[in-house]
Chains A and B, each alone.
Chain A
Amino acid sequence: MTHHPRHERVVEAIFAAVDELNQQLRRSQRLAKSLDTRITGDGSLDSLGLLNLIVLVEEKVDQAFGIPVTLADDQVLAGQADAFHTLGSLADFVHRAVAAKMKG
C-alpha cells in the first residue's frame, strides 16, 4: 500500500516519539518501531505509557508540521478507540487530523 508523503512524515514523527518513550520503558516493555505494534490491550502500554506516547506524538507532529494537534482530549478519544490499537492505526488517525488542520 502506497501512502501519501505526508503520511510517511507522520510515521517518522511517531517513530521518533517511540524512541523517546522507550527510554522510559523497561527493555521487555519497549515498543518495536513497526506499524503493527499494538499500543493498547493486553500486554501493551499501561495508561501512563499511553498518555506519555500521546503527548510525545503531539510534540513530534508539532515539530514536523508546525501544527498543534490534540490527541489526548477525551472528546477526541471518544469513538476513536480503534485509532489507538496499533502504531499504524495511530499514524492513520494523526494523518487525518493533520490533513484536516491543513485544509482548515
Chain B
Amino acid sequence: MPGCLVISDFNPHNFCAYLENDKEVPALEPIQAPFGLVQPILSDAGHPIWQTRSDFAVVWTQPEKAVPSFQRVLEGEVVPAEALLAEVDAFCSLLLAAAARVGTLFVPAWVHDPADRGHGMADWKRGIRLALTRLNLRLAEGLSAPPNAFVLDAQRWVAQAGIAAFNPKLWYQGKILFGNPVFQAAVNDVKAAARGVRGEARKLIILDLDETLWGGVVGDVGWEHLRLGGHDGVGESFVEFQRALKALTRQGIILAIVSKNQESLALEAIRKHPEMHLRLEDFAAWRINWEDKAANVVALVADVNLGLQSAVFIDDNPMERARVREALPEVLVPEWPESPLLYRRALLGLRCFDTPWLSTEDRVRAHAYTTERQRNAVKQQAGSLEEWLKGLAMEVIVEPLNAANLARAAQLLNKTNQMNLATRRMTESEFKTWAETGSNRVWTFRVTDRFGDSGLTGLASLQVENGSGWIADFVLSCRVMGRKIEETMLHWVVENARQAGAREVRAQYSKTAKNQPCLEFWHRSGFAMRGSSAFVWDTGQAYPVPDGIRLRAAAPQ
C-alpha cells in the first residue's frame, strides 16, 4: 500500500484516521510524523521519517507557524509585505528540499478562522486577509516549478465546512486544528490528487440527452420546444451545465452521448437548436438508439479506445444509472440531482478529473477525437487497412527525450495502460534521471496525418549493453493504436540499437490487468518469441517501416 507521510504543526490524528479508513482508491497508509516539528523535520534530510518509503507527503501548517511574522499580523500589527514574503520564501526552500525526498508533495494552502474579522472593513487594505492572500500566492509561486509539488485548496475545505471548520474544543483539548468536515474534505482531495498523479483520472463523460443535456423529450416535443436557454431558469441551467462540460473538454476530458432516442432527431437538435452550447464537434462519439445503455456504454468506450475505468456516466434517470452501475462497476456513475438547477454544481463537484499536468495534447484531445471520427469514416470507405493508412498520409516525427517533451512523455508513461510493455510508473524527475543513466535512451513519437496532429502519442526506451539491446518501455496512446505506428517505432528502435552495436533487440512483456493489447501486438510484430513473454529481433535484418508512413527525426532543440 502506498505510504502518505503527514508532517504537521498541529495534531493530524483525525486526518490520518480518515485517510486510513477512506474507501476510495488508492488506499493510502498514513505515516504520522511527530507533530509540531515541521521545520526541524523538513530541514533534516537525515531524519528517520524520510527513511519510510513514502509515495506521497502532506505538509500541513498554520500560517503563523510557517511564517512567524504572520503572528504579528494576527495581533494587529502592520507588517511590511517584504518581511512576510521573505519568510514564505525560506519556508518554500524547505518544501522544495522535501519534494526531492518523496514521490509527490501536497501542501494545503494556508487558512485562518473566518470568525476572525481582522481589521473588518479595512482587512483587505492592511489586515489578515490581504496578508494571507499574499502568503498563499507566494507559496504557489514558490512551488510552481517542481512537477511533483502541489498546493491544495484548503480554503475550499474551510468554506464548505462553514462554522464547523474550526473547532476550539478539539484545538484546546487535543491540538486538533480543524473540525472533522475539513479533514474529510482534505482526504477527498488528497485521494483525488493521488489518483491524478497515478494516471487514474477519468477521461470520458458519457451523457444522456433528454432531461440531462436539455429539458424535455426531443422525440415528443421536437427540438424547437426543448427547454434550453431563453428567459427560463431551468433552460438557463441546462446551458450553464453545457458550458461547464465544454470547459472540461479544455482540460482534456472527452464528451460522448449514450441516449435512448431516434438518432436523426437527436442529432438535428444538437445541430439546429440556437442555444445549444455543445455541438456535434464537441462529442467524440455517440450511441443513440433504443438498445440497452450498458451495452451501448461498452461499445462506445471501445470506439474511443479507452477503458471502462476512464468513463463517467451521467443520466437523469435513476433506473438507467442503476443499470449501468450494476452492469459496469468500473464506470463511475455519480448520483445525480433531480433538479436541473443543480446539475452544474454536481458536475463541478466531481473529484475524478484531477490531473497534475495539462499538456497541449490534453487541451486539444476532444478535437482529436472528432478528427478520429473523420478518419474512421475514410476507413469505412477504404477497401483495406493498407489502403486506409495510405489515405491518411501519416507522418511520425521522432525526438529524443528533452526538457520540452519531458512532461508529456512522463504523462504518457504513467497514464497509458493498454499498449504498455513494462507499465513502469515514474515521476518526471525519475524518468529524466533514468534516461540520462549509462547507455539508456528514450525517444518520443508524434503522429500527424491529413486530418490533424495527434500529438506526442508514442514512447520507446532502449538500453544497450554487451552487444544486446533491451526495450525498457514501449508505450503508445490508444488514440493511434492499430495504425502501424507500433511497427514504425520498432523500426526506429531496432535501427538505433544496431547503430549502437547491438546484435539483437529484446523486449520483455510484463502482464498487467489491462495490457493484453500490447501482448497481442508483440505476437504479430515479427519478433521471435523466447519463452512465454520475451521477444527478440536479430539486428542483422532490417525492421521495415510500414508502407505509407513517413518517419523523420524532429529538428534539434
Spell out A's residues near B (CB within 8 Å): 20, 23-26, 47-48, 51-52, 54-56, 58-59, 72
Least Cβ–Cβ distance between B184 and chain A, in angstroms? 8
Q: Report whether A25 and B17 are in contact in the complex, using a CB–CB cutoff of 8 Å.
A: yes
Q: Does B305 contact A (CB under 8 A)?
A: no
Bound Cα distance from A24 to B17, whole angstroms: 5
Q: Report whether A23 and B170 are in contact in the complex, using a CB–CB cutoff of 8 Å.
A: no
Least Cβ–Cβ distance between A102 and chain B, in angstroms? 22
Q: A54: which B residues are within 8 A, CB to CB? A: 169
Q: Report whether B174 and A24 are in contact in the complex, using a CB–CB cutoff of 8 Å.
A: no
Residue of A nearest to B172 (CB): A72
Bound Cα distance from A48 to B13, whole angstroms: 8
Q: Does B167 contact A (CB under 8 A)?
A: yes
Q: Report whether B21 and A24 are in contact in the complex, using a CB–CB cutoff of 8 Å.
A: yes
Least Cβ–Cβ distance between B229 and chain A, in angstroms? 41
Q: Report whether B174 and A48 are in contact in the complex, using a CB–CB cutoff of 8 Å.
A: yes
Interface residues on B, range: 10 to 19
Q: Report whether B21 and A58 are in contact in the complex, using a CB–CB cutoff of 8 Å.
A: no
Least Cβ–Cβ distance between A78 and chain B, in angstroms? 15
- Which one of B17, B18, B21, B167 lies within 8 Å of A55 (CB-CB)? B167
Q: Does B211 contact A (CB under 8 A)?
A: no
Q: Does B20 contact A (CB under 8 A)?
A: yes
Q: B13: which A residues are within 8 A, CB to CB? A: 48
Bound Cα distance from A74 to B201, whole angstroms: 48
Q: Does B180 contact A (CB under 8 A)?
A: yes
Q: B164: which A residues are within 8 A, CB to CB? A: 59
Q: B11: which A residues are within 8 A, CB to CB? A: 48
Q: A24: which B residues are within 8 A, CB to CB? A: 14, 17-18, 21, 180
Q: B20: which A residues are within 8 A, CB to CB? A: 26
Q: Report whether B14 and A72 are in contact in the complex, using a CB–CB cutoff of 8 Å.
A: no
- Which one of A25, A56, A72 lies within 8 Å of B173 (CB-CB)? A72
Residue of A nearest to B15 (CB): A24
Bound Cα distance from A10 to B17, whole angstroms: 26
Bound Cα distance from A51 to B167, whole angstroms: 12
Least Cβ–Cβ distance between B35 and chain A, in angstroms? 12
Q: Report whether A51 and B174 are in contact in the complex, using a CB–CB cutoff of 8 Å.
A: yes
Q: A72: which B residues are within 8 A, CB to CB? A: 169, 173
Q: A55: which B residues are within 8 A, CB to CB? A: 167, 169-170
Q: A59: which B residues are within 8 A, CB to CB? A: 164
Among residues 11 to 36 in chain B, which have CB atoms less than 8 Å away from a CB atom of chain A?
11, 13-14, 17-18, 20-21
Q: B17: which A residues are within 8 A, CB to CB? A: 23-25
Bound Cα distance from A53 to B17, whole angstroms: 14
With contacts A24-B21, A48-B174 taken as known, whether A58 is within 8 angstroms of B14 at the C-beta atoms is no
Top 8 nearest A-B pairs by Cβ distance? A24-B17, A51-B174, A55-B169, A48-B13, A72-B169, A51-B173, A48-B174, A23-B21
Bound Cα distance from A52 to B14, whole angstroms: 9
Q: Assuming A48-B13, A48-B174, A55-B170, what are 20 further A-B pairs, CB within 8 angstroms? A: A20-B180, A23-B18, A24-B14, A24-B17, A24-B18, A24-B21, A24-B180, A25-B17, A25-B21, A26-B21, A48-B11, A51-B169, A51-B170, A51-B174, A52-B14, A52-B174, A52-B180, A55-B169, A58-B169, A59-B164
Residue of B nearest to A30 (CB): B21
Least Cβ–Cβ distance between A20 and chain B, in angstroms? 7
Residue of B nearest to A51 (CB): B174
Q: B21: which A residues are within 8 A, CB to CB? A: 23-26
Least Cβ–Cβ distance between A56 and chain B, in angstroms? 8
21 contacts between A and B (CB under 8 A): A23-B17, A23-B18, A24-B14, A24-B17, A24-B21, A25-B17, A48-B11, A48-B176, A51-B169, A51-B170, A51-B174, A51-B176, A52-B170, A52-B174, A52-B180, A55-B167, A55-B169, A58-B169, A59-B164, A72-B169, A72-B173
